Each structure stands twice: as structure tokens, then as C-alpha cells.
Structure 1
Amino acid sequence: MTRSFTVRLAVAFVGMGLAGALLTAVLVNVAFDRRFSSYVEDRREQGERELLAALRDSFVRNGGWEAEDLAGLEASALMSGLSFSVEDNVGATVWSSSDGRSSEMGAMHREMMGTGPLGPARRLLVEINGDNVGLAEVRGTAGGLRPDDVAFRASVNRLLLGGGLIVGVLALGVGVVLARRATAPVQELTNAAQARTDGDRGRRVTLDRLDEFGAMGQAFNQMADTVEEEDRLRRVFAREVAHELRTPLTILQSHIEAFQDGVSEPTPVALASLHDEVHRLSRIVADLEALASADAAGFTLERRPVALRELLQEAAREWDGPLHEAGLGLELDLDDGIVADVDATRIGQVVANLLSNAAKFTSAGGFIGVELECVDGWAVIRVRDTGCGIPPEEMAMVFGRFYRGRTSRARGSGIGLAIVKQLVDAHGGAVEARSQPGQGTVFTVRLPQA
């Protein structure tokens, strides 16, 4: 079962929000406890200081310790959550709040205030002008917290808990909104891809964004445009191939039927015409086979050190006759001593395709040049012509399969240059074209030297 990325992203937002709220609550609670404990301790010390001041005042006022006067201090001590007893400077107990009625009143007060039992005793010296006049044993509420302190701390904890819940709800809402917005472009791309799978070839995405999703949408649209253009070229290619095959087949059929019906005789001229048509069919089939084999050329290359000057001279000799018949000149400018580790047959096919392409686009009276030189460790072959050139809008499609230039004067399969690129790439090289309309074209092939 697939899990929605939107749900997972929303849960992640909620988790981060709750984790942040929980961490904040814990840190605030820890800091609050420290400050509150410090506050309780300061208040206890303040109460002890006030009690000692009251005891000193009682001693001075009465000229010594008076139990009745000390009993009068019990009420204020109880309000501070303290219980005390006093000993004189020889250790005799003068007064204690744990005796008799004072003890009962203290217990009733603690029960009424809900402060709980008393904590451990602290023994404090009572000094006047540096002289020790007695000892006060002071006991405070266990834990140092009064009911109002406990209530205040509980209210703070409830406030933090409520704040955490509110943050969690807000994180849920914000997480859902952000998750949907974040995954909306992905969903649109998914829908567009599914639509194309279902046959809607014109489906595009509209992501007017400047982020990665916008770039993804542009890449998707460019891919769709490329696929659509390739489909168009395949249809054009199928139509062209059908036309190319139909013409020689029609001629062959008509001549053979004429021979069978006795309408005409299989004279040498008629047979030569049929031979030309068969050769034309063979050329078309060979082009298709070459394109198929070029895809796997990287696995079938028979590499060896090849002197490129001799290879180009041989190709020039093979094309000298056809170019001369077409009224085209052929010029060679070949550096010597350049050796490349290549498949000689495949590179010969590359040169033949480039010369054939140049011949198709060059009018009688023009010339084709073949150059060879070494540049930065690369063997560079250039085939230039003085033909009609390639329009700028067609340059990006020159090496595409099934592509035939609109200015071509001769029929062709439209795969010659695609084969060139496949074979050069298989050798680890590169091929590029430069052209100016009306001024000719230059194809440059770079091959790694041996």
C-alpha cells in the first residue's frame, strides 16, 4: 500500500512543531523551577532574618529572654511558615513553639494552610553587638513550598501544557497547508505524465515558479516537445521511406510484368535500369542497418592504430568520380603522421556520410574540402562545403534521427548524420557543425589520438 508523501510531510511538520513546543516547555519549566526554588530559598532566608531581628529586639527590649514576649512572635513566624524555639547562651530552653498550646496552634495553622509537616531544623546564633546571647532552632515547611506557591507552579505548568497543545494544533494546520503546496507541483507533473501515458501527447505542465519545481516543469515540457518532435520525424521518415521504397518497387514490378506479358524484351538497357533500382533499394536498407548497428557500435568496434591521412585519401578516391559527375571539386589538406586508435571501417563510414551530406547540399560548380590536423592531442577531421548552409533554427536538429533538411535537393533517409554522431561518440570523440546560410557548412570530428 502506497503512503501519501503529502501525509508524511504534514506529519513531519506536526512532529517538528510538537517537538519544538515540548522542548520549549521543558526548558521553560526547568528554568522556572530553578528561579522558583531560588525565590523560595530567598524567602525562607528572609523569614529567618526577620525572625532573628525580632528575637534580638525582644532580648534588648526586655533586657533578656522573656517567654511571654517570645510567644507573641509565634503568630508572625507561623505566617512565614516557620516554627522556632529559643535557648539561652548556656543551652537552657527559654521557649519552644512545640510546647503545649503553641504546638497545637501551629499544627492547626499548618493544617488550615495545607502546608504539611515541618522540615529539618536549622540552628541560628542570636548575636547582639558581637555577643552570643542565645540560639534559635528554626524549622520551615518541608520542601519550602506554601499552598499558594504550589498553586502558582501548577498554573504555570497548565499554561505550558495548553500552549503546547495550541502549538500542536497550529502545526497540524500549517503542516497540512504547506505539505499540499509543496507537493502540488509534483502532483501536477504526475498527472501530466499519466495523461501522456494515456495518449494525451499535447499535455504540458504550467509551473510558473523560479525554484527547482519550476525547472523540473520546464525540463518536462522540453522533454515532451522533444518526444513530440521525434514522433513527427518518425512519421515523416516512415512516409519518406515508404515513398523511397515504392518508387523502385513500382518500376521493378512494371518491368517484370512487361517481361512476363511479352510487352517488352529484357534488353541490356532494361536490365541496367532494373539493376539501378535494386541498388537504390539496397542503399536504403543499408542505411537502416547502419543506424541500427551504430547504436551498438561501442560494443562492436575493432580498434587499432590507424593512419588517418591514408584513410581519408582512400575515401577521397572513392568519392572523386561521383563528385566529378555532380560538377563538384574536392580539395584535400591533410597533415601527415596523425594516428588514432579507431575502427577504420567505422571512421571510413563517418567520412563517407559527411561527404555524401556535403554533396547533397552543394550545387554544381562548388567544392568540398577535407582537412586533417592535430589540436591539443586530438585528431581533428573537417569536412567543409560551399553549399546552401543550414538555417539557424535547424542547427539543433542536424544530428537527430530521421531529420532531413528542408533545403535538401536530394532525397535521403535522414539518418546519415545521426549515424556519424553515434559512431564518433562510440569512439569517445565529438562532432559538431558550424554553418552560415548561403556560405556553406563545416563538420568537425575530434578523435582521441593513439
Structure 2
Amino acid sequence: MRNLLPGRFARRLALAFAALGIGAAALTAVIVNAAFGARFDDYLAKQQQIHQKQLVVLFTAEYSHDHAWKPQSLNQLAPTVTMTGSQVELRAANGKHVWSLADANVDPATLAMHRDMMGIGDLGPTRKLPITVDGARAGTLEVRVPQGQIPAVDKDFRSDVNQLLAAGGFTAGLVALAVGLYTARRATAPIAELTDAASDLAAGQRDRRVTTIPDNEIGQLATTFNTMADRVEKEDELRRLFASDVAHELRTPLAVLRSELEAVQDGIREPTPKVITSLHDETLRLGRLIADLETLASADAATFTLERHPLSLTALVRGTLEGLTSRFTDAGLDLHTDLAEVHVDGDEVRLRQIVTNQLINALKFVSPGGTVTVTLHQDDGWAELNVADTGPGIPAEDLPHIFDRFFRSRTARADGSGIGLAVAAELTAAHGGTLTADSTPGQGATFTTRLPVLGSGSAKAGGRPEHSSTSRASRRRPNSQPDSGRSPG
């Protein structure tokens, strides 16, 4: 692993864990302090209510003695009221002033000094409390009692809790940071290896693979990358083999053309019709090879378009067979057909190319005296075309690759480029169908083309038929479309 230190993403993930831990601790501190504050406020409010009730009871008892307010008796209450630190004013039932601490020569400064000495806080808001005796309103007591102070033990407790919360938040942050770093390293290690592997692959190191494959989405990505790398390596190998084959096939006709032309130029040979025919055959061979390459390129081009229209697939297959009858006869092969009437929506040129490529493939491999059987029928909304031969069959190791680009079987003859089936598979996929193969060595091979029939739900949806096969085209792009009508030889 190249990246031994955590990368930017890993650091961000670790910091996010730490921030989450600290944030959770801070939120807990806020909630706890808010709860304590509410509790303490309730405590102070209850203390004020108790003091207010005590003062009301005190003045009610004084009125109950004589059922009248007597200033001299009220003055005797001044020391008790002063001890509470409260400020009071008594009014009669009609609202007139009756008595206050000022009437007993107790000034506000004395009350304030007393509150400071007692440590009972400043005065709260004025409350008007009714004084009732025997169900009758005797007066109103306007009172301001001290707000009270939180006891020292309560303050210490609250301070200790805050300190514990702060220490807990700091500890949680450190733990979260450590866990975040560990988790980030574990989470990003496969990504870092995948990044390095992708860089190596892009730099040309085709054997580079990802070794760390966790059991999660990143593991799926790593597996997909390894599959892609295997495919790239395989296609590079096939491309090299293909280039070698193409160079060989180009070299042979070019060498013949050159030797024949030089012989004519030197006067060694006369430009007889036989010589001209030989040169013409070699040029045709070159043309077929170039046409194969152009067709494969067009099948992969972004401008791949199909000129679709309703047509009789039966008539198209029959016409293609008629055009190749002479070649089958010259090759000494028997051609059998069983064609039902089937209609599809497709490109006539491309569909003819699909059929032609499969028939030409049979011509390459079936020995004289063999048989090629072509059948066409409709099966559950799909047109099924089968091209079966009695040739040597396809080797088991080649069967999974016969539709791969640039693949050429070791048993192929030298008169073709080996890409006809790849082109046929591409064109079939472009029509929303599949091209599959089934073969047993020594017992021939059967190629099955399935296409949506005209007006079927599958055709409208552009779907694929569910059809088991030994091998499928290696690349499926139903939206890709060809731009050339040439058929490979």
C-alpha cells in the first residue's frame, strides 16, 4: 500500500467522528444545565411563595384579634417582617393605606443591609395578596419578598456536574477521534488500494489487481474492478493476436500482388487474363479483410444507427440463402431449410448481415459432404433463427469466447478475419435480441438468433429474451447502432 498515512478523506471522517462526540457532549451539557436551571428556578419560586404565605398568615392573625387594623399592633410586627427581608404595605379593603415598614421607622436601607447580611438576595416583584378573615375581605398585602439565592452546596453541585460534562466531552472527543481514525483507515484502505490499482492499470500494468476485498459495497467495487482488469488484459492479448493475424493476412496477398506485378514489370510474365484474375482475387481478399475491420468499427461507433422498418424475416433469410447457394454447392455441402413466416421490425441490411455471417462461418468449418440446416420459427413473441451444422464443433475452451472481439479459433481457416461472429452479435444486440451458440466437439455447432417479432411486447420494450446459452456476445449495447452495410468475409 502506497498511502501509509491517512488521506484527506480519512482525516475528514476522523474529524467528523470527533466533532460528533464533542457535539454530543456539549448538547448533553446544555440540556443538563437547562434542566438544573429550571429546577433551581422552581426551588426559588417555591421559597418566595412560602415567605409570602407566612406574611399573609401573620397579618391575618393580627386582624383576627380585634377584627380591625391597629397601627400600634402592626408596629409590633415590624421586627418579624424585617427579619424576612421583605418589603410590605398593608391596604384596607377599600384600597386605602393602612400600614408599612416606613410607618414603623424601618427604612429601605436597613432592609437592604439585612438582606446582604442574611445572603437572601434582592427583592422580587411586587405581589398583591388578599387577606381574608371569616370569608370577608379584610385588606390587601402588597409584598416584595427576597428572590433568594441558590445554596452554596447546590452551586458546587452544578459546577461539579459542568466540570464532569466538560471532561466527558473532551474524553468523548478523544475516543471518537481515535475510533474515527481507526474506522477511517479501515474504510479507506480498500479505496486507497483500488485507486493505486486503477493508476497502475492506466499506466499499463495490466496484471495489477485489488487484493483487499471487504464484504460490502467497496468489495463489490473491487471485484468489479478486477473483472474489468481481467477483461482489459484479455482484450489486450486478443488485440495483439488479432494484429498479428491481420498483419499475416495482409502480408500474403500483398506479397502475391508485389511478386506478380514485379514479374510483369521485369518481363518475366505476361499480363495474361490468368495473371490479371489472380491479382484481382488478391485485391478482393484485401477488400474483404478491410470490410471486416470497417464493419466492426462501425458496430462500435457512437453514430451506430438502424434504419428500422417492418419486414418479413422469412423472405430475408430465404433471399440470403439463395445468394449463397452456389457457394454451398461449390463447398460440397447440403443445405436444408425449414422457414416459418415471421415478421420483425429491423434494419434489412443489418439483419441480412447477421444471417450471412453465420452462414459464412459454417462454410469455413464444415467439411465437404457435411450438412447445414437453417430453421426459422416464432416462439412466445420472439423470432428464433437456428443455423446448425455437422462440422467439427467448437472446442470447449473456445466456446465462451467465440463472440469476443478479436478472438479467432486455432481451427479457423486462413480465408477470413475471424470477427464475423463478433459483428453479428453486436448487430443482434442492437436489434434488442441475442445471439448464442451451443456445441459439442465432434458433433457440430448450433447458432441461435432471437429477435423480437413485430408488434410483440418485448419488441416494444426493447427487452431481452430469457434464453439459456453456452455463450453470449461479450458486449451488449442495444442502443448502439451500425452505420455501414458491409458484410465480413
Identity %: 45
Tell me what 1:359 maps to: 363
- 1:390 aligned residue (394, 405, 419): 394
> In structure 1, what is the Cα distance between the partners aligned to 2:249 and 2:16?
62
RMSD: 4.3
> In structure 2, what is the Cα distance between the partners aligned to 1:10 and 1:46?
54
Matched, 1:399 2:391: no
- Consecutive unaligned residues of structure 2, counting only runs of 5 or more, are 1-6, 65-69, 455-489
Q: What amino acid is the match of 2:188?
A: T
Matched, 1:319 2:324: yes
Matched, 1:185 2:197: no
Task: Give 1:317 deviation, angstroms.
Answer: 2.4
- Equivalent positions of 1:394-433 (< 5 A) are 394-409=398-413, 412-433=416-437
Matched, 1:276 2:281: yes
- 1:285 aligned residue (285, 290, 298): 290
Secondary structure, in 3 states, of the residue corresponding to 1:119?
coil
Task: Give 1:371 deviation, angstroms.
Answer: 1.3
Secondary structure, in 3 states, of the residue corresponding to 2:436?
strand
Do 1:381 and 1:446's aligned partners in 2 also have CA atoms closer than 8 Å? Answer: yes
Task: Give 1:329 deviation, angstroms.
Answer: 1.9
Matched, 1:376 2:380: yes
Task: Give 1:412 deviation, angstroms.
Answer: 3.1
Map Cα deviations across residues 86-113 of structure 1 (whole Å, 9 max, x no partner): 9999999899599568977753343245
> In structure 1, what is the Cα distance between the partners aligned to 2:357 and 2:165?
80
Matched, 1:329 2:334: yes
Tell me what 1:240 maps to: 245
Q: What amino acid is the match of 1:281?
A: L
CA gap 1:390/1:50 in 2 versus in 1, 3 angstroms: farther
> In structure 2, what is the Cα distance between the partners aligned to 1:388 and 1:75?
122
Secondary structure, in 3 states, of the residue corresponding to 2:204?
coil
Matched, 1:36 2:37: no
Task: Give 1:277 deviation, angstroms.
Answer: 3.0
Secondary structure, in 3 states, of the residue corresponding to 1:388?
coil
> In structure 1, what is the Cα distance between the partners aligned to 2:32 and 2:396?
69
Name the stretch that deviates more: 338-347 or 386-395.
Answer: 386-395
Name the stretch that deviates more: 171-180 or 278-287.
Answer: 171-180
> In structure 2, what is the Cα distance between the partners aligned to 1:49 and 1:297?
92
Secondary structure, in 3 states, of the residue corresponding to 1:118?
coil
Tell me what 2:155 maps to: 151
Name the stretch that deviates more: 89-98 or 366-375.
Answer: 89-98
Q: What amino acid is the match of 1:408?
A: A
Task: Give 1:331 deviation, angstroms.
Answer: 1.1
Q: What amino acid is the match of 2:321?
A: A
Task: Give 1:130 deviation, angstroms.
Answer: 8.6
Do 1:404 and 1:412's aligned partners in 2 also have CA atoms closer than 8 Å? Answer: no
Task: Give 1:398 deviation, angstroms.
Answer: 2.3
Task: Give 1:188 deviation, angstroms.
Answer: 2.4
1 or 2, which has the higher helix percentage? 1
Tell me what 2:209 maps to: 204
> In structure 2, what is the Cα distance between the partners aligned to 1:33 and 1:420?
81
Secondary structure, in 3 states, of the residue corresponding to 2:352?
helix
Name the stretch that deviates more: 244-253 or 132-141.
Answer: 132-141
Task: Give 1:370 deviation, angstroms.
Answer: 1.1
- Consecutive unaligned residues of structure 1, counting only runs of 5 or more, are none
Matched, 1:348 2:349: no
Do 1:9 and 1:175's aligned partners in 2 also have CA atoms closer than 8 Å? Answer: yes
Tell me what 1:221 maps to: 226
Do 1:387 and 1:438's aligned partners in 2 also have CA atoms closer than 8 Å? Answer: yes
CA gap 1:55/1:161 in 2 versus in 1, 3 angstroms: farther
Task: Give 1:257 deviation, angstroms.
Answer: 3.6
How many residues in Structure 1 have an aligned counterpart in Structure 2? 443
